[in-house]
Every structure is written in C-alpha cells, then in structure tokens.
Structure 1
Amino acid sequence: MALRILSLNAWGGKLHAPLIPYLVEVNADILCLQEVVRSPETRSEWLLYRDRDAELPQRANLFDEICAALPDHDGYFCPTSRGELSDGDRMVHSEFGLATFVRKSFPVIGQALDFVHGEFSPDGWGEHPRARNAHCLRLFNYEHGFSITIAQMHGLRTTNGKGDTPERQAQADALVQLIGRIWPGNERLVVCGDFNVLPESATFAALGSLGLSDLVTGRGHTDTRTSHYGKSGRYADYMLATPDVDVISFDVVEQPEVSDHRALLLDLR
C-alpha cells in the first residue's frame, strides 16, 4: 500500500465549502497545511483579516474543523503569531500558522518545530516580512517496516516579490538545520510547503545538499496556483524528495480548487 502525502496552503479556509470535503476524500496519510487559523475565544464561523487595503475572510477555527473531519489522524498546530481578526465590530484573538495531520497508524518517532525566520509574535501579526516556522516529523511505517522523515515550511513573504534575499538564504539554512535534528541521513526524506520562492532560488541548492530534488519542476509542472490567484509568478509550492523515495505518482492538483494554491499530492512506497 502506498503512503500518501498532501501539501496545501489552505488560505485561511476562505474556500471552506470545497476544502473540508476534499481533505476527507483525498484520504492522505500525512497532510501538511499552511495558513491555518485557530481562534479559541469565539464560536463564530468567520472572521475578517485586514491589512492596509486588503481584506480576507478567515475560517475562525479551521484547525478544529479539520481535526473533526479527520478523526483517524492526530493533528499538530504550529502557530507563528497571535493577532486580531474582526468579528463584526468586535476584535478576536486568533492564531495563525502550520498544521500537520498524521494518520494514527503511523507513529511519530521524532519531531522538531522551530522558526526559520523571526520568532513567535504573541501580541500582533508582526512586521513584514513576518515570522515563519517549519515542522519536521519522523514516522514509522509498520506495514513495510521503514521510517520516513517529512518536513513542511511556509516561506516568508516580502513586499518586493519572490526573489532571493539574505533573509530567504538564512531561512533555507535554518530549514536544513531543523531537518538535520530529526533526519538520520540514511532514510526517505520529503520536504514540502508554500516556499514563496521561484524555481531558480538558492533555497533549492541548500535543500539539494540533503540529496533532495523538486518534483514540481522536475516533472514539468509550471503552475501551482489556481484561478483564485490573479498575479503573475505562478510558482509558490514545492515538494522535494530524496532518491530513495519510490514515487508511485505525483500531481499538482488542478481540480477541485480549494484555495488560491493547488494541492501537491504524492504517493510513495
């Protein structure tokens, strides 16, 4: 039986109606999700994020809803910050970050979580470029008798595009160091997420030092965004694997559209 890994920027659950059924139906063993929201102070379904002239609906307790939809998985919420979202004329504290879901039949035998840019912000979303973290898990597959390390990251966003910067180089180096805490170096390794960089980024040279190569560009995919994204520069999401990962199939999912990012779906053994 294949091991299935999904990576997706959930866009704060803006497309909640198709998102939750898709996460159930795709039947992934490991789900690596970026831009996930948790707001324990409210039972409201929707909150509103405002940043200058931008407004974005956020599903108030997206993490809890995914937990309820995936009862056979353990969920790990990894916030980068706590700020305020609008609930009508009331402001509500909300946390924002990564979420990783692991099917309970795969024990977690190693884990590392840390910031790859900045640090946790408890009193607001923080200044741009905002803090970013990464989550690395080592799992065991009982059925086939092997362990595998999986890491995800949401790369920092800057106001001047996706080109390389000293901050992005430092972020890549920090990700490599984080992976090195858990990955023994002699087993399967998969790294994924919304990196917010272009395919020629030095990020991939840093990850290449671990033997990783990108499946998105390596298999000819040229677009990881959906019709809900109207800008140029259609690369953002990547999934990399070491040569010992036996890829059964890999897809940059065009349909259904559950975010402004496409899901990345890997079946391996």
Structure 2
Amino acid sequence: MKVVSLNAWGGRLHEDMIAWLAETRPDILCLQEVVHTPDAPAEWLKYRDDGMDLLQRADVLGDVKRALPGHFAHFCPAAKGELWHGDVPVQTLWGLATYIRKDLTVVSQAQGFVHGQFSPNGFGDHPRSRTAHAVRVYDPDEGMLSVAHMHGLRDPMGKMDTPMRRIQAGKFVSMIQGVIAPGEKLAVCGDFNILPGSETLRLLAPVAPYELVTTRGFDGTRTSHYGKAEKFADYMAVNGPLKDAAFDVIRDPEISDHCPLVLDTA
C-alpha cells in the first residue's frame, strides 16, 4: 500500500496539489491543515492572523474527496473559526483528514486531541488545539496495517522541546497503542513541527523506532515556498516490519510549502 503524508497548506497550491494526488492515488492519505467550509460563498477565502492575510481554499476536504473518488474521508476538526470573504467573516472548520481507499477494511480507529480541545468559538491563541487520527486497516494482499498521523502544535517561540510537546507526544503514543496489534505493520507520520533529534521522536520510538526522513539522508521536508532557514517539520516513523520499506520525500512537483512523504508498505 502507498501511504502519503502531506500538510496541505490550506490548499494554497490547489491545482498542483489536486493534480498530483489524483495521479499518485495513495491508498491512505494523511492530510494536515485541512479547511472545510460548508456552503462557502466562494472557492477562496482569506485567513487573517498576526498581520498575515493569506488565501485559503474554502473546502480542501471536498476538493481532495473529488480528486480521490475511490476513497472515503475521515475529518478530524480541531477548531471552528473565521476566514474572510472580503469584509464578511465566514465560519470555517480546520483540522486534519485521513482518506482511505474504499475497498480497505477499517478494523479499528481512534481520534482525539493531543493538545487542547475542540474550539467552537474561534481558532484561539497559539499554541492552538491539535488533533490526531490512528486507523488500522486490512488489505487482502498485505494483511493488517496501522497508520497514525498528527499535526503537532505550533509554538511561536520555535520547534524546540517543551513540556506541552512532551505531553502531546504521550497522548499520541497512547492513541496509537489503542489501535495497533503486536507484529503488524505501523507507520506514524505528519507535520510534527519539531526538529530532528526531538524528544517527540524519542517518545514515539517504543511504537515506531525507525524515523525515515532523517535516517535516509533527506535534508528537510520544506519546499521553496517556505522562507525560513529550518527545513524540517514532517516525519515518517515505522516499526520493524517496515524499516526497509521504500520511502521518498517528494520535491518535484511542489504542491505545498511542505513536501509529500511517500511510503510503500509492500
């Protein structure tokens, strides 16, 4: 099975992202930074925060569902806040989503918050609430596979280890442990918003000890659309049955300010 992890960047490179996903057709897509605006007044809205005024696709969730008609989507909202259509505020859900090929059997799953709780009255101050999703699926050809992803909290001070990140990692590990079974394949991924060597990766090691971005020699996971010097944010950690699996960080085409991470579990 092909597992892809990607921060969608609010769909800002919509056409390129949708074209790549439709061509790649991952069996399981772990998508972070997903916008969902039911009955949106326009296809594009604006996100305003800390002096930024950024275009966002109004319904990334639906855009990707249409690009992957053979998948079902599990949406995990973290907050409901305002995007803007001109001077008109538009209530919008924001979170992550997992797209799973329809002929895969979902045996078990867990969804929950690794930081904060659902915020129905605005996105809130940073560090904002973060959610995660873990799913265990059965494929007749490969057997069982568990995949878990999260969008790690953003700290305005940086990507260093903090007590909140330690708690977040502990909650994520507990969620994963509630889904996996001994000896089966496991992939843990997402935009963790941390640096290589982070405590978060050490805390994930009991369930997924092999982190593939750093150990396979990749020099980062950010594209040219990201202007800061630090280029690491996204990670793919696996357990023993997948430690030698094919893996790549896709740099071309650029479909976000994050690179897609692609794991082949076969």
TM superposition score category, shorter chain reference: over 0.9
| Match in the other structure for 2:64 | 66
CA 1:176–1:246 in 2, change beyond 3 Å: closer, same or farther?
Answer: closer
- Partner residue in 1 for 2:224: 227
The runs of 5 or more residues in structure 1 that have no matched partner are none
Report the 3-state secondary structure (helix = DSSP H, G, I; strand = E; otherwise coil) of the residue aligned with 2:241: coil
Checking the alignment, whether the CA contact within 8 Å between 2:13 and 2:255 is kept in structure 1 is yes
2 CA distance for matches of 1:174 and 1:127? Answer: 21
Aligned equivalents of 1:211 and 1:99: distance in 2? 21
Question: Residue in 1 aligned with 2:84?
Answer: 86
The answer to which of 41-50 and 11-20 deviates more is 41-50
| Conservation of the 8 A alpha-carbon contact between 2:208 and 2:237 | no
**Match for residue 36 of structure 1?**
34
CA distance in 2, matches of 1:250, 1:180: 24
Measure, in 2, the Cα distance between the counterparts of 1:169 and 1:150: 21
Identity of aligned residues (%): 48
1:238 aligns with 235
Partner of residue 7 from structure 2, selected from 6, 9, 12 = 9
Paired with 1:148 and 1:250, the residues of 2 have a C-alpha distance of 16
| Pairing of 1:1-269 with structure 2 (within 5 A) | 3-144=1-142, 146-245=143-242, 247-269=244-266
Q: Distance in 2 between matches of 1:264 and 1:247?
A: 15
**1:210-242 CA distance string (max 9 Å, x none):** 242100001011110000000011100000110
Structure 1 distance, partners of 2:147, 2:90, is 33
Distance 1:236 1:246, change over 3 A: closer
Deviations 1:102-144 (A, max 9, x none): 0111111101000000000000001210000110000001123
Between the aligned partners of 1:176 and 1:48, the Cα distance in structure 2 is: 34
Matching residue's letter, 1:217: T
How much does 1:188 deviate?
Answer: 0.8
Rounded Cα–Cα distance in structure 1 between residues aligned with 2:209 and 2:218: 17
Look up the equivalent residue of 2:183 and give its one-letter code.
N
Cα pair 1:41 1:92 within 8 Å, conserved: no
Asked if the contact 1:247/1:267 (under 8 Å) is kept, the reply is no
How many residues align? The count is: 266
**Unmatched tracts of structure 2, length 5 or more:** none
CA drift at 1:41: 3.2
SS of 2:242 mapped into structure 1: coil
> Which residue identity does 1:154 align to in structure 2?
H
Tell me the SS of whatever aligns to 1:65.
Answer: helix
2:208 & 2:118 partners in 1: Cα distance? 30
**Distance in 2, Cα, partners of 1:211 & 1:31:** 19
Give the counterpart letter for 2:230 in structure 1. Answer: G
User: What amino acid maps onto 2:58 in structure 1?
Assistant: A
TM-score w.r.t. length of structure 1:
0.97
